[in-house]
Amino acid sequence: MLPRPPNRKLYWIVAIAFLISNVSALKVDYQEKYLTTRLDKFNHEDHRTYQQRYLFNDQFWGKSKNTDYSSASCPGPILFYTGNESPVTDYWGASGFFTEVLAPKYGAMLVFAEHRYFGKSMPFGDNSFEIKNIGYCSTQQALADYAYLITHLKKQYNAEDCPVFAFGGSYGGMLTTFFRIKYPNLIMGGLAASAPFSFLGSGISPFAFTEAASNTYETARPGCGQNIKVALSDIEKYAATPDGRTKISKDFNLCKPISTQNEGIEVLNWAVGGLMGQAMLDYPYPTEYGISISGWPVNNTCDRIHNHKGDTVSALAYGIGTFYNYTGDKTCYNIHTDVPDWGKCCGWDYLACTEVYIPSASNGIFPYAPYDQAADIKACKEQFGVDLDPSLSETLWGGFDSLSQSSHIIFSNGLLDPWHTGGVLKNISDTLIAVVIPESAHHLDLRSPNPKDPSYVTQARIEEDKIISQWISEYFKSH
């Protein structure tokens, strides 16, 4: 999930991101493990370490009935999740295609690595986000962590000859791509689901995400997008007056009434964050992904707004409950804590200020905010004391053109997901393959098969399995 870039008026969500038609009856558990690993992989004089968490399962390893997926020196492949900006346990639950379907089929070992500075992998504990400590929160360091973890596990399990296939969603999909490019000696291929590469210089408009998200609402229910646009504009107006702020507090059932215009704008941003979040997570059934949301949340939000008897603001406040209070357990909202775990400070914010800067702006049904690079630079300086280099991401990782120098990567993108606008939507080569999925949201193809899945998603998983199966088989035949 990709939360926000540092733009001062864009919102936390934008600073933001099978195989068969039946539900798999197999539920796969994991072992929680920790590896003592060096804090700074690039300074050999720094001997400090931290505890990196990873999830592990070898119950299927070496048990495939298909001999194409093993050899005399390797019982089966390793499927490796490149953890991203949430606790790694979130990704285990959202990757049933691999844990429940592909791992048993291939006889694979499962390893889910947690990204440093997320979940329980905090190098400095509760002090990890202090300015003096956060500098080790780095994509390059995280990839080096993963390389070290793979090397360690291969030695531990006598698996030096076993191929490793990486996969990940959103920023995790970006990491899978970078991992394959930077460590081709360790990673034989990867599936990068819903991975945007819209860095500065990519040619992707900074408005692309909000334009796509706006279209998601308008096509879900005609007139819904316009109703939301009016409601957001009204919130901005109400925030300017005491009576208006009282109305916002009442309509949104805030635990603590707001008293200033800035607090009113924070409520606006919180509502926008929810709208954008569920545009990404517009799954056909209820899900738990850092937050509990309904099935087809965009449609449900639009229906709630349309059927509500109150004015625009109260209708939106009721509608956004499909994202923020689907379970109905919240008696009031605290907009600072009632957010998904991937929307919280500070790891992603720091990455967005350093190695994963994605320019963003807002329009469509959302309040207009232009791309303001100077404001982003200022915000990063104020929050972290770092000098944002807007071109560094493309320098480090390259744009779309650089992908052609690699091989054996599947890029999947769902067209309901606004992040598809920054993804790879066409084949680059015979082994750099785009799988474009209508009626699919943010890396839905990684999730467990479900009877409510659109047929396009089921077909995408079949295609992905066919490709991965071929690549793993070819690896064993050539090694």
Do residues 115 and 201 touch, judged by C-beta distance below 8 A?
no
Cα dist from 78 to 81, 176, 333, 470, whole Å: 10, 14, 43, 15
Catalytic residue among 145, 372, 417, 445: 417
Retrieve residue 352's tokens: 């967005």
Catalytic residue among 70, 170, 314, 440: 170
**Residue 417 bears catalytic tag:** yes
Which of 168, 163, 167 is closest to 150 using CA atoms?
163
Retrieve residue 171's tokens: 């920023």
**Residue 445 bears catalytic tag:** no
Residue 338: what residue type? D
Which of 421, 8, 443 is closest to 211 using CA atoms?
421
Q: Where are the beta strands (DSSP E) in 119-268?
A: 164-169, 189-193
Catalytic residue among 115, 408, 420, 442: 442
**CB-based burial label for 123 (10 Å; 0-12, 13-18, 19+):** buried
Euclidean distance between CA atoms 152 and 111, whole angstroms: 12
Q: How many residues does the chain have?
A: 479
**Which long-range contacts (C-beta less than 8 Å, at least 24 apart) are formed by 388-395?**
388/6, 388/353, 388/354, 388/357, 389/357, 390/200, 390/357, 390/359, 391/200, 391/201, 392/354, 392/355, 392/357, 393/199, 393/200, 393/355, 393/356, 393/357, 393/358, 394/199, 394/200, 394/201, 394/202
Which of 80, 86, 76, 158 is closest to 116 using CA atoms?
86
Euclidean distance between CA atoms 231 and 248, whole angstroms: 11
Active site positions, annotated: 170, 417, 442
